[in-house]
Structure 1
Amino acid sequence: MRQEITRNHKGWSLDNVVLANDVLKMVTKEEVTQPPSEGVFVYGLKIDGAAWRMSREKGGHLSDPPPKQLYSDLPVVHVYATNEPKALGNAYYTCPVYKKPRRTDLTFIFTLSLKINNNNPDYWCLRGVALLCDTK
């Protein structure tokens, strides 16, 4: 995707292009009516170690999971590439995405930036929060 977007924008260098994302308010893939103008919509990711709480005024953010719930669904995510990375600060947790629950460098795909509410990003890192494509 980085290469494709770099080709579409004249003057962009592949070395400077980074992935960015936005978690949308669309919860299921059926709510998506048309493709994005640039990038891809990703759906079906499961959150391991946390849950996603939707709120009207702020969109959504990571929260503690309900008791006895191993995985939670993440809403549709718009992943795109940009030439100017934005500084995220302590308002976002850089969450790794893995293919399977076994977290190794062989199953690692990329990272997504997920909005957090009041906690430090280290809180979620120490809890081992990650996104999974498949839970089996």
Structure 2
Amino acid sequence: MMDDNHITSPPKDGVWIKGLFLEGAGWDKKSACLVEASPMQLNCPLPTIHFKPTEAKKKSGKGMYSCPCYYFPNRAGATGRASYVVAVDLKAGAVNADHWVKRGTAILMSLDH
């Protein structure tokens, strides 16, 4: 995760992605990890993420949540098509990954249906 003020050029590998949202959790910028969402907060903007290509997906490490990323809030897909895109490893924070699974925590690319 990056603060947009520190991004001055394209990454050597991969791409910067901004404009994503968390549903079912909040984001602690200082610790760069998931936290409980504020009361009445349906979604939370995520800072810019650096996506890098890898040869093979390794299993998420301890303290990490493999967060699903969807095109739309309707996870089945707004037009009946699958909405799932990719899993993004995020630091689980003070709780384990199962906590975020039970919360249904996901990254959304769009807030529109």
Q: TM-score, normalised by structure 1?
A: 0.72
On the 8 A contact 2:60/2:66 being kept in 1, the answer is: no
Q: Distance in 1 between matches of 2:16 and 2:97?
A: 25
By percentage of residues, which structure has more strand?
1
Larger radius of gyration between Structure 1 and Structure 2: 1
Equivalences for residues 47-66 of structure 1 within 5 A:
47-55=22-30, 59-66=31-38
| Structure 2: gaps of 5 or more residues | none
| Structure 1: gaps of 5 or more residues | 1-22
Percent identical = 32
In the alignment of these two chains, the number of paired residues is: 108
Q: TM-score, normalised by structure 2?
A: 0.86
- Over residues 11-58 of structure 1, what are the superposed CA-to-partner deviations in whole Å (9 max), with x where a residue is unaligned? xxxxxxxxxxxx22x1x4x65321000101111000001011022xxx
Partner amino acid for 1:60? A
- Over residues 100-133 of structure 1, what are the superposed CA-to-partner deviations in whole Å (9 max), with x where a residue is unaligned? 1000261111110001212110100000000101
Q: What's the secondary structure of 2:19's corresponding residue?
A: coil
Q: Distance in 2 between matches of 1:44 and 1:84?
A: 26
By percentage of residues, which structure has more helix?
1
Runs of 4 or more consecutive aligned structure 1 residues displaced over 3 Å after TM superposition: 83-88
Q: Distance in 1 between matches of 2:55 and 2:104?
A: 30
Instruction: Say whether 1:43 aligns with 2:25.
Output: no
